Structure 1
Amino acid sequence: MKRLTKRFLELLALLSAEAVLIGMTFLLCLLVFGYMVQEVFVYKDTGLDNALFSYAASHRSEGMTHFMRVISFFASADYLLVAPPLLVMVFAWFHSLRWYALKILMIAFTSTMLNQLLKSLFERPRPITAMLKESSLSFPSGHAMIGVSFYGLLIYIVWREVHNPFWKWLWISLLALLLLLIGYSRVYLNVHYATDVLAGYAMGILWLLLAIYLMKKLEKFYRQKYMAEKLEELES
Structure 2
Amino acid sequence: MKSFTARLIALFSLLTLEVLVVSGVFMVSGLLFFYLTRIVFVENSMAFDQWAFGKMDVLRAAWPSLTTVVESITFFASLPFLVVVGLGLPLVLRLKGHRREGLEILLAVAGASILNQLMKTHFQRMRPETALFPQSGLSFPSGHSMIGLALYGCIAWVLWRHEHHPAWAALLLMWAVLIGLTRVYLHVHYATDVLAGFAIALVWLILLRTALRLWWREAKVIQ
TM (norm. structure 2) is: 0.90
Q: Which has more radius of gyration?
A: 1
Following superposition, the deviation at residue 110 of structure 1 comes to 1.1
Q: Is the 8 A contact 1:99 1:219 kept in 2?
A: no
Q: Which runs of 5+ in 1 are unaligned?
A: 1-12, 229-236
Q: Counterpart of 2:56 in structure 1: which amino acid? A: A
Q: Once the 2 structures are TM-superposed, how far is the Cα of residue 132 of structure 1 from its aligned partner?
A: 2.5
| Deviation, structure 1 residue 14 | 11
- Whether 1:103 and 2:100 are equivalent positions in the alignment is no
Cα distance between partner residues in 1 of 2:120 and 2:192: 13
CA distance in 2, matches of 1:214, 1:132: 39
The residue identity in structure 2 corresponding to 1:132 is F
2:75 partner amino acid? F
- What is the distance in 1 between the residues matched to 2:167 and 2:30? 29
Alignment counterpart, residue 171 of structure 2, candidates 165, 170, 174: 174
Q: Describe the superposition over 1:33-60 as per-residue Cα deviations: whole angstroms up to 9, x where unpaired.
A: 0110000011111111001100000021
Check if 1:156 corresponds to 2:134. no
Q: Aligned with 2:77: secondary structure? A: coil
> Which of 70, 81, 93 does residue 79 from structure 1 map onto?
81
> Is contact 2:145–2:197 with CA below 8 Å preserved after alignment?
yes
In the alignment, structure 1 residue 138 sits paired with structure 2 residue 135: no
| Pairing 1:25-104 to 2, within 5 Å after superposition | 25-60=25-60, 61-95=63-97, 97-104=98-105
The answer on whether the counterparts of 1:30 and 1:203 sit within 8 Å (CA) in structure 2 is yes
For residues 72-109 of structure 1, the C-alpha deviation after alignment (integer angstroms, 9 at most, x for no partner) is 111111100101212112210233x2101111111211
Residues 149 and 173 of structure 2 are in contact (CA less than 8 Å); yes or no, is this contact kept in structure 1?
A: no
SS in 2 for 1:74: helix
> Which of residues 205, 208, 211 in structure 2 aligns to 1:211?
208
For residues 149 and 178 of structure 2, the distance between their equivalents in structure 1, rounded to whole angstroms, comes to 12
Percent of aligned pairs with the same residue?
Answer: 37
Q: Which residue is equivalent to 2:121?
A: 120
- The alignment status of 1:188 with 2:189, answered yes or no, reads no
Contact 2:145/2:179, CA 8 A, preserved across alignment: yes
Cα distance, 1:14–1:180 mapped onto 2, change above 3 Å: closer
| Distance (whole Å) between structure 1 residues aligned to residue 96 and residue 82 of structure 2 | 22
CA distance in 2, matches of 1:170, 1:22: 19
Between the aligned partners of 1:149 and 1:216, the Cα distance in structure 2 is 17
**Distance in 2 (alpha carbons) for counterparts of 1:27 and 1:73:** 30
Structure 2: unaligned runs, 5 residues or longer: 1-12
Is the contact made by 2:86 and 2:110 (CA closer than 8 Å) also made in structure 1? Answer: no
- Pairing partner for 1:220 from 207, 217, 220: 217
Q: Any residues of structure 2 matched to 1:9-24 within 5 Å, and which?
A: 16-24=16-24
Whole-angstrom CA distance in 2 between matches of 1:109 and 1:33 = 20
Preserved CA contact (<8 Å) 1:153 1:208 = yes
Write the distance in 2 (CA, Å) between the matches of 1:29 and 1:217.
22
Q: Deviations over 1:131-167 (max 9, x none)?
A: 132211000001111111111101100110113xxxx
**Number of aligned residues:** 209
In 2, Cα distance between the equivalents of 1:57 and 1:14? 44
- State the AA in 1 paired with 2:57: A
